[in-house]
Amino acid sequence: MFTMSRTVLIIDDSPTVRSMVRDQLHQAGLFDHYLEAGDGEEGLEILLREQIDVVLCDLDMPGISGFELLRLMQRENSLREVPVIMLTGHDNQDEKIHGLELGASDYVTKPFDPAELLARVKVQLKIKTLQDKLRRQANTDVLTGLFNRRYLFEELEKERVRAIAGQNDLSIAILDIDHFKKINDTYGHQVGDQVLIAVAERLCLSIEKNEIVARFGGEEFVVVLPGKSSSQARDCIEKIRRATGNKPLVTSPEEVSITLSAGVATLRKGTQKSVDALVKAADEALYLAKESGRNRVEIATEESSPTTTIPRSVPLP
Protein backbone atom coordinates (compact mmCIF):
# COMPACT_ATOMS: atom_id res chain seq x y z
CA MET A 1 0.00 0.00 0.00
CA PHE A 2 1.86 3.12 1.21
CA THR A 3 5.61 3.23 1.69
CA MET A 4 7.41 5.36 4.26
CA SER A 5 10.89 5.06 2.68
CA ARG A 6 12.42 8.33 1.52
CA THR A 7 14.31 8.97 -1.71
CA VAL A 8 16.40 11.98 -2.71
CA LEU A 9 17.46 12.86 -6.26
CA ILE A 10 20.65 14.88 -6.74
CA ILE A 11 20.97 16.51 -10.18
CA ASP A 12 24.27 18.18 -11.04
CA ASP A 13 26.67 17.95 -13.95
CA SER A 14 29.58 17.84 -11.50
CA PRO A 15 30.28 14.36 -10.06
CA THR A 16 32.23 16.05 -7.26
CA VAL A 17 29.25 18.16 -6.18
CA ARG A 18 26.92 15.17 -6.37
CA SER A 19 29.28 13.14 -4.20
CA MET A 20 29.63 15.94 -1.63
CA VAL A 21 25.87 16.42 -1.35
CA ARG A 22 25.24 12.69 -1.15
CA ASP A 23 27.86 12.20 1.57
CA GLN A 24 26.39 14.97 3.72
CA LEU A 25 22.85 13.63 3.42
CA HIS A 26 23.94 10.04 3.97
CA GLN A 27 25.85 10.93 7.15
CA ALA A 28 22.70 12.61 8.49
CA GLY A 29 20.63 9.53 7.66
CA LEU A 30 17.82 11.58 6.14
CA PHE A 31 17.00 9.23 3.26
CA ASP A 32 16.74 5.55 2.50
CA HIS A 33 17.62 5.81 -1.18
CA TYR A 34 19.99 8.17 -3.02
CA LEU A 35 19.67 8.69 -6.78
CA GLU A 36 21.89 10.85 -9.00
CA ALA A 37 21.60 12.43 -12.45
CA GLY A 38 24.26 14.23 -14.44
CA ASP A 39 21.88 16.57 -16.27
CA GLY A 40 18.27 17.77 -16.36
CA GLU A 41 17.15 15.28 -19.00
CA GLU A 42 18.36 12.30 -16.98
CA GLY A 43 16.87 13.85 -13.85
CA LEU A 44 13.46 14.21 -15.48
CA GLU A 45 13.52 10.59 -16.63
CA ILE A 46 14.19 9.48 -13.05
CA LEU A 47 11.45 11.74 -11.70
CA LEU A 48 8.92 10.23 -14.08
CA ARG A 49 10.01 6.71 -13.20
CA GLU A 50 10.69 6.81 -9.45
CA GLN A 51 8.91 8.12 -6.35
CA ILE A 52 11.10 11.06 -5.29
CA ASP A 53 10.67 12.98 -2.02
CA VAL A 54 13.23 15.80 -2.38
CA VAL A 55 15.23 17.05 -5.37
CA LEU A 56 18.50 18.97 -5.15
CA CYS A 57 19.20 20.43 -8.57
CA ASP A 58 21.98 22.52 -10.07
CA LEU A 59 20.77 25.69 -11.76
CA ASP A 60 23.31 25.81 -14.60
CA MET A 61 23.48 22.55 -16.56
CA PRO A 62 23.96 21.63 -20.21
CA GLY A 63 20.76 20.76 -22.06
CA ILE A 64 17.84 21.12 -19.68
CA SER A 65 18.73 23.80 -17.13
CA GLY A 66 17.40 23.96 -13.59
CA PHE A 67 14.82 26.57 -14.64
CA GLU A 68 13.64 24.45 -17.57
CA LEU A 69 13.38 21.38 -15.34
CA LEU A 70 11.13 23.35 -12.98
CA ARG A 71 8.90 24.31 -15.91
CA LEU A 72 8.66 20.69 -17.06
CA MET A 73 7.87 19.47 -13.55
CA GLN A 74 5.01 21.94 -13.25
CA ARG A 75 3.42 20.43 -16.35
CA GLU A 76 3.24 17.00 -14.70
CA ASN A 77 0.57 16.65 -12.00
CA SER A 78 2.56 13.96 -10.24
CA LEU A 79 5.65 16.20 -9.95
CA ARG A 80 4.21 19.56 -8.98
CA GLU A 81 4.41 18.95 -5.24
CA VAL A 82 7.91 17.45 -5.20
CA PRO A 83 10.12 19.96 -3.32
CA VAL A 84 13.11 21.20 -5.34
CA ILE A 85 16.11 22.87 -3.70
CA MET A 86 18.18 24.70 -6.29
CA LEU A 87 21.98 24.62 -6.06
CA THR A 88 23.60 27.72 -7.56
CA GLY A 89 26.97 29.42 -7.61
CA HIS A 90 25.30 32.81 -8.17
CA ASP A 91 23.96 34.99 -5.38
CA ASN A 92 21.57 36.83 -7.67
CA GLN A 93 18.32 37.92 -6.03
CA ASP A 94 16.34 38.27 -9.27
CA GLU A 95 17.46 34.80 -10.34
CA LYS A 96 16.33 33.30 -7.05
CA ILE A 97 12.95 35.01 -7.25
CA HIS A 98 12.51 33.72 -10.80
CA GLY A 99 13.25 30.17 -9.65
CA LEU A 100 10.80 30.42 -6.75
CA GLU A 101 8.11 31.67 -9.13
CA LEU A 102 8.76 28.63 -11.35
CA GLY A 103 8.22 26.27 -8.44
CA ALA A 104 11.52 25.96 -6.57
CA SER A 105 11.12 25.41 -2.84
CA ASP A 106 14.45 26.83 -1.69
CA TYR A 107 18.01 27.76 -2.69
CA VAL A 108 21.46 26.79 -1.47
CA THR A 109 24.46 28.79 -2.71
CA LYS A 110 27.63 26.93 -3.68
CA PRO A 111 30.07 26.38 -2.13
CA PHE A 112 27.47 25.36 0.45
CA ASP A 113 27.82 25.12 4.19
CA PRO A 114 27.03 21.51 5.20
CA ALA A 115 24.96 22.58 8.21
CA GLU A 116 22.88 24.98 6.11
CA LEU A 117 22.35 22.32 3.42
CA LEU A 118 21.10 19.80 5.99
CA ALA A 119 18.86 22.35 7.68
CA ARG A 120 17.18 23.35 4.41
CA VAL A 121 16.74 19.72 3.31
CA LYS A 122 15.22 18.84 6.70
CA VAL A 123 12.66 21.62 6.35
CA GLN A 124 11.58 20.45 2.89
CA LEU A 125 11.50 16.82 3.98
CA LYS A 126 9.30 17.72 6.95
CA ILE A 127 6.89 19.62 4.68
CA LYS A 128 6.79 16.70 2.23
CA THR A 129 6.14 14.24 5.07
CA LEU A 130 3.18 16.29 6.29
CA GLN A 131 1.83 16.59 2.74
CA ASP A 132 2.13 12.83 2.24
CA LYS A 133 0.34 12.17 5.53
CA LEU A 134 -2.57 14.41 4.52
CA ARG A 135 -2.67 12.80 1.07
CA ARG A 136 -2.73 9.31 2.59
CA GLN A 137 -5.59 10.32 4.86
CA ALA A 138 -7.51 11.71 1.90
CA ASN A 139 -6.90 8.57 -0.17
CA THR A 140 -7.46 5.92 2.50
CA ASP A 141 -10.55 4.09 3.67
CA VAL A 142 -10.68 4.63 7.43
CA LEU A 143 -11.89 1.15 8.38
CA THR A 144 -9.77 -1.14 6.20
CA GLY A 145 -6.71 1.01 5.48
CA LEU A 146 -7.15 0.30 1.76
CA PHE A 147 -7.21 2.96 -0.92
CA ASN A 148 -10.62 4.59 -1.22
CA ARG A 149 -12.89 5.03 -4.22
CA ARG A 150 -11.55 8.50 -5.05
CA TYR A 151 -7.94 7.32 -5.24
CA LEU A 152 -9.00 4.19 -7.12
CA PHE A 153 -10.43 6.16 -10.04
CA GLU A 154 -7.36 8.41 -10.17
CA GLU A 155 -5.03 5.41 -10.35
CA LEU A 156 -7.27 3.57 -12.78
CA GLU A 157 -7.05 6.47 -15.22
CA LYS A 158 -3.24 6.45 -14.94
CA GLU A 159 -3.14 2.69 -15.51
CA ARG A 160 -5.51 3.05 -18.47
CA VAL A 161 -3.20 5.59 -20.11
CA ARG A 162 -0.16 3.37 -19.47
CA ALA A 163 -1.94 0.32 -20.87
CA ILE A 164 -2.96 2.13 -24.06
CA ALA A 165 0.51 3.64 -24.54
CA GLY A 166 2.25 0.32 -23.92
CA GLN A 167 -0.27 -1.78 -25.87
CA ASN A 168 -0.92 -3.88 -22.75
CA ASP A 169 -4.03 -5.39 -21.22
CA LEU A 170 -5.51 -3.88 -18.06
CA SER A 171 -7.93 -5.93 -15.99
CA ILE A 172 -9.97 -5.09 -12.93
CA ALA A 173 -12.13 -7.19 -10.64
CA ILE A 174 -14.95 -6.12 -8.35
CA LEU A 175 -15.40 -8.53 -5.44
CA ASP A 176 -18.39 -8.67 -3.12
CA ILE A 177 -18.82 -10.52 0.18
CA ASP A 178 -21.82 -12.80 -0.25
CA HIS A 179 -24.73 -12.35 2.19
CA PHE A 180 -22.87 -9.66 4.13
CA LYS A 181 -26.13 -8.29 5.55
CA LYS A 182 -26.76 -11.68 7.11
CA ILE A 183 -23.34 -11.52 8.81
CA ASN A 184 -24.21 -8.14 10.32
CA ASP A 185 -27.65 -9.35 11.38
CA THR A 186 -26.30 -12.57 12.92
CA TYR A 187 -23.08 -11.43 14.59
CA GLY A 188 -23.47 -7.65 14.79
CA HIS A 189 -21.82 -4.77 12.95
CA GLN A 190 -18.62 -4.99 15.00
CA VAL A 191 -17.97 -8.50 13.68
CA GLY A 192 -19.03 -7.28 10.23
CA ASP A 193 -16.31 -4.62 10.40
CA GLN A 194 -13.78 -7.28 11.44
CA VAL A 195 -14.77 -9.34 8.40
CA LEU A 196 -14.21 -6.36 6.11
CA ILE A 197 -10.77 -5.76 7.63
CA ALA A 198 -9.84 -9.45 7.35
CA VAL A 199 -10.90 -9.61 3.69
CA ALA A 200 -8.89 -6.46 2.97
CA GLU A 201 -5.81 -8.04 4.54
CA ARG A 202 -6.22 -11.23 2.52
CA LEU A 203 -6.58 -9.27 -0.70
CA CYS A 204 -3.43 -7.27 0.01
CA LEU A 205 -1.47 -10.47 0.67
CA SER A 206 -2.75 -12.00 -2.57
CA ILE A 207 -1.72 -9.31 -5.05
CA GLU A 208 1.56 -8.50 -6.76
CA LYS A 209 3.64 -5.38 -6.20
CA ASN A 210 2.24 -3.39 -9.14
CA GLU A 211 -1.39 -4.22 -8.35
CA ILE A 212 -3.86 -2.16 -6.33
CA VAL A 213 -6.63 -3.05 -3.89
CA ALA A 214 -9.30 -0.50 -2.97
CA ARG A 215 -12.54 -0.51 -1.04
CA PHE A 216 -15.24 0.33 -3.56
CA GLY A 217 -17.98 0.82 -1.00
CA GLY A 218 -19.87 -1.24 1.56
CA GLU A 219 -18.74 -4.86 1.21
CA GLU A 220 -17.29 -4.39 -2.29
CA PHE A 221 -13.58 -4.30 -3.18
CA VAL A 222 -11.75 -3.60 -6.42
CA VAL A 223 -8.48 -5.19 -7.52
CA VAL A 224 -6.56 -3.47 -10.34
CA LEU A 225 -4.43 -5.91 -12.36
CA PRO A 226 -2.14 -4.09 -14.85
CA GLY A 227 -0.80 -6.26 -17.66
CA LYS A 228 -3.12 -9.19 -16.96
CA SER A 229 -5.45 -10.58 -19.62
CA SER A 230 -9.01 -11.49 -18.72
CA SER A 231 -8.10 -15.16 -18.29
CA GLN A 232 -5.07 -14.32 -16.13
CA ALA A 233 -7.18 -11.98 -14.02
CA ARG A 234 -9.89 -14.61 -13.67
CA ASP A 235 -7.33 -17.17 -12.48
CA CYS A 236 -5.95 -14.70 -9.94
CA ILE A 237 -9.37 -13.80 -8.53
CA GLU A 238 -10.52 -17.43 -8.65
CA LYS A 239 -7.55 -18.36 -6.47
CA ILE A 240 -8.56 -15.67 -3.98
CA ARG A 241 -12.18 -16.82 -4.05
CA ARG A 242 -11.29 -20.46 -3.35
CA ALA A 243 -8.83 -19.58 -0.58
CA THR A 244 -11.38 -17.35 1.12
CA GLY A 245 -14.14 -19.94 0.97
CA ASN A 246 -11.88 -22.67 2.32
CA LYS A 247 -10.58 -20.80 5.36
CA PRO A 248 -12.87 -19.08 7.90
CA LEU A 249 -12.01 -15.56 9.01
CA VAL A 250 -10.87 -15.16 12.60
CA THR A 251 -13.01 -12.57 14.37
CA SER A 252 -13.92 -11.90 17.97
CA PRO A 253 -15.61 -13.77 19.56
CA GLU A 254 -15.81 -16.48 16.86
CA GLU A 255 -14.77 -17.52 13.36
CA VAL A 256 -16.93 -16.52 10.41
CA SER A 257 -17.08 -18.39 7.10
CA ILE A 258 -17.69 -16.29 3.99
CA THR A 259 -17.67 -16.59 0.21
CA LEU A 260 -16.91 -14.04 -2.48
CA SER A 261 -18.52 -13.24 -5.81
CA ALA A 262 -16.52 -11.35 -8.43
CA GLY A 263 -16.78 -9.75 -11.84
CA VAL A 264 -13.74 -9.27 -14.09
CA ALA A 265 -13.42 -6.81 -16.98
CA THR A 266 -10.46 -6.12 -19.24
CA LEU A 267 -9.25 -3.22 -21.33
CA ARG A 268 -7.69 -5.19 -24.17
CA LYS A 269 -4.63 -3.85 -25.95
CA GLY A 270 -5.54 -1.77 -28.96
CA THR A 271 -8.85 -0.61 -27.48
CA GLN A 272 -9.83 2.75 -25.96
CA LYS A 273 -12.40 1.81 -23.30
CA SER A 274 -12.87 4.49 -20.61
CA VAL A 275 -12.44 3.89 -16.89
CA ASP A 276 -16.19 4.28 -16.35
CA ALA A 277 -16.91 1.71 -19.04
CA LEU A 278 -14.36 -0.70 -17.58
CA VAL A 279 -15.86 -0.41 -14.09
CA LYS A 280 -19.38 -0.74 -15.47
CA ALA A 281 -18.43 -3.93 -17.31
CA ALA A 282 -16.90 -5.45 -14.17
CA ASP A 283 -19.97 -4.39 -12.19
CA GLU A 284 -22.27 -6.13 -14.68
CA ALA A 285 -20.14 -9.28 -14.50
CA LEU A 286 -20.39 -9.19 -10.69
CA TYR A 287 -24.15 -8.87 -10.93
CA LEU A 288 -24.20 -11.91 -13.21
CA ALA A 289 -22.09 -13.86 -10.70
CA LYS A 290 -24.62 -13.11 -7.98
CA GLU A 291 -27.58 -13.92 -10.19
CA SER A 292 -25.93 -17.22 -11.10
CA GLY A 293 -25.69 -18.44 -7.51
CA ARG A 294 -22.85 -16.44 -5.93
CA ASN A 295 -19.43 -17.75 -4.82
CA ARG A 296 -18.15 -17.56 -8.39
CA VAL A 297 -16.17 -15.39 -10.81
CA GLU A 298 -17.68 -14.09 -14.05
CA ILE A 299 -15.88 -12.35 -16.92
CA ALA A 300 -17.42 -9.43 -18.79
CA THR A 301 -17.82 -10.09 -22.50
CA GLU A 302 -17.37 -7.66 -25.35
CA GLU A 303 -20.91 -8.47 -26.43
CA SER A 304 -22.36 -7.05 -23.19
CA SER A 305 -24.72 -4.22 -23.99
CA PRO A 306 -23.20 -0.84 -23.04
CA THR A 307 -26.66 0.43 -22.28
CA THR A 308 -27.51 -2.26 -19.73
CA THR A 309 -28.50 -0.69 -16.43
CA ILE A 310 -28.01 -2.49 -13.14
CA PRO A 311 -30.28 -1.32 -10.31
CA ARG A 312 -27.51 -0.65 -7.78
CA SER A 313 -29.63 1.82 -5.79
CA VAL A 314 -31.01 -1.26 -4.00
CA PRO A 315 -28.19 -3.19 -2.25
CA LEU A 316 -27.77 -6.75 -3.38
CA PRO A 317 -28.59 -9.23 -0.60
Question: Which residues have a Cβ under 8 Å from the Cβ of 200 and sit 6 or more positions away?
Answer: 144, 145, 146, 213, 215, 221
Residue type, 199: V
Alpha carbons 252 and 197: distance in angstroms, whole number: 12
Asked, as a colleague might, if the bond just before 253 is cis with ω within 30 of 0, I would say: yes
Asked, as a colleague might, if the bond just before 111 is cis with ω within 30 of 0, I would say: yes
SS3 (DSSP) at 311: coil
| Per annotation, catalytic residue among 36, 42, 159, 219 | 219
Question: Which residues have a Cβ under 8 Å from the Cβ of 160 and sit 6 or more positions away?
Answer: 170, 267, 273, 274, 275, 278
Whether 219 is a known active-site residue: answer yes
The neighbour count for residue 230, using CB atoms within 10 Å, is 20
Q: Give me the half-sphere count of Cα atoms (radius 13 Å) on the Cβ side of residue 150.
A: 7
Alpha carbons 118 and 115: distance in angstroms, whole number: 5
Residues in the chain: 317
Burial annotation 36-68 (CB, 10 A radius, 16+ → b, else e) = bbbbbbbbbebbeeeebbbbbbbbebeebbbbe
H-assigned helices in 167-301: 180-187, 189-206, 230-246, 275-291
Alpha carbons 82 and 112: distance in angstroms, whole number: 22
Alpha carbons 256 and 247: distance in angstroms, whole number: 9
Q: Which residues are catalytic?
A: 219
